[in-house]
């Protein structure tokens, strides 16, 4: 079997490394673009593929992402509807994301940003402490990562809630919500909102003025989904009005964040460079090999997304 690496924004050979290439059992890996159509290509590994990338591979059966997100692949105009798109599932990634989110939740609970400002001013003033039980956290997205984040926050004592488009069984100690009525109900009780949603037409722009207005006043946003989820002007307005006390932003519609963007120097925004977590090359390799084995056996690969839902 031959596999093609397709990306317009990343050197996939350099990113995946020589070990990945050596471990590709009975697979010849080539780089896009090839000269003319390649009818023997049945598998691709991709990240932000060029618009015409998949036109050259008429017998392509599956495309593996190098991350949990697949929106950049689904947006490719040359991707045929019958091609399976595979996301990576990495338990280590969920652990890293959970630690990142917990750090920001606790920072909001304990008013660490205010203490940092006081330190710069050499000002000594205790602000009083709040219990974790008094800071309700609402999580948008209840997949593998969302479940880990919710579970860990609950263990730390925070009331953890999670919302998904359709009903999902929630672990003990976590309140689950779904659908439009469920979103309204969860937001009305949410002080800290964590976005872990996939990017779909329905979720684009979901972090907007109306969403912020339904949260508890003085709330906090942790944005680790996709940059296009956030309406930037609405966040700035919510911070200005006091509806939100602060925000932690790790993803942006345009990356890297442009010089002189208002987020850089905003006193109540924490900016990190899309570094909340990352998928390990080992997990990518395991997903790649499982996909290749499924194609050889005539099965649908594991972790294939639902193309209609976009995740």
Please give the positions annotated as active site. Answer: 226, 274
Report the C-alpha gap between 222 and 250 in whole angstroms: 8
Query: C-alpha angle 135/136/139, rounded to 5°?
Result: 135
Could you tell me which residues come within 8 angstroms of residue 50 by beta carbon, excluding any fewer than 6 positions away? 6, 8, 32, 76
Q: Which of 177, 191, 188, 175 is nearest to 131 (CA)?
A: 191
Please confirm whether the linkage preceding 256 is cis (ω < 30° from 0): yes
Longest dimension (CA), the chain: 70
Query: What would the two tokens of residue 247 be?
Result: 């925000």
Report the C-alpha gap between 225 and 253 in whole angstroms: 11
Could you tell me which residues come within 8 angstroms of residue 6 by beta carbon, excluding any fewer than 6 positions away? 12, 32, 44, 45, 46, 47, 49, 50, 53, 54, 63
Please state the separation of Cα 149 from the chain's center in Å: 12
DSSP string, 142-173: -SHHHHHHHHHHHHTT--EEEEESS--PPPTT
Report the C-alpha gap between 210 and 16 in whole angstroms: 41
């Amino acid at each position: 079997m031959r596999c093609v690496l397709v990306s317009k924004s990343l050197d996939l050979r350099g990113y995946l490394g020589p070990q990945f290439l050596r471990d590709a059992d009975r697979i010849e890996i080539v780089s896009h673009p090839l000269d003319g159509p390649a009818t023997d290509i049945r598998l691709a590994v991709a990240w932000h593929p060029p618009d015409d990338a998949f036109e050259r591979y008429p017998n392509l059966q599956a495309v593996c992402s190098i991350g949990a997100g697949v929106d950049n692949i689904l947006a490719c105009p040359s991707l045929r509807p019958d091609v399976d798109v595979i996301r990576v599932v990495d338990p280590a990634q969920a652990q890293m994301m959970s630690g990142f989110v917990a750090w920001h939740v606790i920072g909001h609970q304990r008013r660490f940003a205010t203490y940092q400002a006081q330190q710069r001013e050499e000002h000594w003033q205790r602000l009083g402490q709040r219990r974790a039980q008094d800071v309700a956290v609402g999580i948008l997205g209840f997949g593998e990562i969302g479940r880990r984040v919710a579970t860990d926050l609950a263990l730390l004592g925070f009331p953890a809630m999670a919302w998904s488009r359709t009903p999902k069984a929630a672990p003990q100690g976590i309140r689950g919500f779904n659908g439009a009525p469920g979103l309204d109900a969860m937001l009305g009780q949410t002080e800290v909102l964590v976005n872990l949603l996939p990017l779909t037409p329905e979720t684009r722009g979901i972090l907007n003025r109306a969403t912020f207005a339904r949260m508890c006043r003085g709330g906090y946003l942790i944005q680790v989904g996709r940059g296009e989820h956030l309406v930037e002007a609405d966040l700035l307005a919510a911070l200005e009005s006091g509806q939100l006390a602060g925000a932690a932003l790790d993803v942006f519609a345009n990356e890297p964040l442009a010089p002189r963007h208002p987020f850089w120097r905003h006193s109540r925004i924490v900016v990190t460079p899309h570094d909340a977590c990352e998928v390990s090359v080992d997990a990518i390799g395991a997903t790649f090999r499982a996909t290749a084995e499924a194609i050889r056996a005539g099965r649908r690969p594991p972790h294939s997304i639902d193309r209609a839902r976009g995740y």
